Structure 1
Amino acid sequence: MARQSSESSRSASSRPTKKAEQVEEELDAVEDVDAEVDDDADLEDDANLDEEDGGSERSAQADALWSDVKIEPIELALPKGVGYTLRAYRLSTELTPTQVEEEEDDFAILHRRPQDEEDDRVVILENAELFEDEEPEPVAASKKKPAKKRADDAADEDSDKTDEAAELDESKKSDTSEKAEESDKESAEEADEEADEAEEEDEEEEEAEPEEVPAFLSHHGKLLLFRSVEGLVEFVKSDAEHDLTQLDTWESLKTRITASSVVPTDENHYELDLVVENLRGGQDAWDTDLLLAAGEVARDLAYALRLEPVRTALAAGSPLDDLDEGLRAAAAGGVGGFFAKRRLKKIGAQQTALGWRTIIGKISAAVDWRD
């Protein structure tokens, strides 16, 4: 009996152990399921974040494509919306500038000069006899002079004519000599000017080395900006005329481009629609990365589309260029950055905002929006 009781006690003690193991296994299974659900939720959150940020990261295959063709997709945000286009950098000797269509001059009438042509109109006058030239009345004959007096007067007149002729000959000789001297001086001066111009041209030819310049997907001075990636890809694969067809890698891009490959890098996102608002916020609110990127793409567009007012506004030494230089120096830090921040405080926020609003308006007017 004692032996049976001990065995029963052992079996009873083992039963809770098995139940505990089963409970632990069930808990582990539930935790695994919860972990899988959490992982799926994280993936969905990451996908949502990618969509909010403008798309997923670019694949290695897409990187290889853009690296081979030496062209990059860019995303440009303007007050009218966001669009996609292409940009490439080549040597100035390899590109033909875009052909800008001449705009009509609304004030051309103010520049016209009066015509020098004769007036062929026929005017009919009433009472024409009033406008006829009247014949002069005959002058009464004076008394005849004596013959001797007339002879003396004739002799005096002849001597006066002789003296006048001599003076005229001397003046002609002096004028001729002076004109000859002036002509020699002018010819010498012209020769010197031509020599100087030739030297300047030679110096310019020696100094004008090829430089890397930007080119965009544009046509006749208009930037082709597509609201969708699919629209950009469809246009690239077509035979439409534009300025990038002159690139030696364009045909390769036409055959290899896909919608999934058109993913601009972070450096190729430009938010021009936020520049004016950011500048109006004052120096403490200025976004250095935003403003420097805007200056970069604005200069490229001004060169490629031949927007002379924009090039002038952003030229070296201009207030907006000083703003860029100050932002770069301030971002670099150090003593130079300290003085740069002091200089930035002297730049008027309203003035820079007004200048950038004009620049963005010029760029927006040169955009051809495509779907």
Structure 2
Amino acid sequence: MRRGAGLAVGVALLGAAALAGCGASRKLAYRPDELRALVSARAPDLAPGDVTVPFELGPERAAWARRLVRDAQSDAEEVERLAGAMLDPAQLGLRYVSSVTTGAEETLRRSEGNCLALASVFIGLARAAGLQAYYIDASIRVHATRVADDGTAVNEGHVSALVKTASGNFGLDFTRLGTIEWYRVLDDVEALANYYNNRGFEMMDRAEVERAPVDWPAVEREFRLAVKVLPSFARAWNNLGVAAARQGRLAEAAASYRAAAAHDPKLAAPHNNLGELHLAGGELADAVRELETAAALDPAAPHVQYHLALARLRGGDRDGARRALRRALELRAGYPEARALLEELGPRARQGSSGGTSAGSVSSNQ
């Protein structure tokens, strides 16, 4: 889908043909009580009152949205008013902040949020005003992957909002990252799973920024809720595996990575992470296989090439290790570990070198 003329800041007309799935029979929008009941059935240990419904607004805010669009001449004008109010300092005055995933009401209290949080506010307001508004996944365009020091990869998606009008489908792009070429309409269940996945991702990032220990049980809880809400959610399965590995449950981590790969065969991260597990355990053939798969799925990932080089080197394939290291340096010229190892593999490199540190391992003590 391509952006057309914007109605307001962050709002763009989208190609109608790209709205695959909107006319399908699957249910896209749920009432808050319906969503809570569904989640409680899938996660019985979670009380309905503890389920966050990201788009839920209180009655006063819903009434405000209806008043705002009451005399609008078209549904497109309603979209313009709602989106404009979100960004107008004299009205809601919301700001985009990349690392804050919150529900609509909390986002309004904080006056800030990330794409999912701002999308939730818009969807709550739009639905209160009688518009057909949905979440969309634009993770092909924006797909955050956090690579830890040991080479494991954690995934976060990019979620925004879409509203159907008589004059076309309009999408919100709070990050202003340019043309949206592709999206997929999410139902509210998928959006909630993304909410929990993003929260776990952010806990890890926040700890890194604050140079504090990661609360892995809390992180795991968010990722586990994501896969309970949506058992086919590959990115969350991958992330759940990372949390399990950090707590020393390596067999469970491997099972989660395999589930991620099964649910999304095009996702490189679980193969990378499985390769790291095999490499740490000395299972070199399995490590090479998984890392080669990851490299094929994500040819632009320098960390995959570096750890593939380590696996090949430990398996005795020095030429293959050199090729992977050269590729890593093509992708990231300032990759110090890759450059140092490639220099070590020169004509006078020590025989039997293991390539230095075991940077590809996944351990429970980080």
- TM-score w.r.t. length of structure 1: 0.20
Of Structure 1 and Structure 2, the greater helix share is in: 1
Q: Which has the larger radius of gyration?
A: 1
- TM-score w.r.t. length of structure 2: 0.20
Q: More relative contact order in 1 or in 2 (CA 8 Å, sep 6+)? A: 1
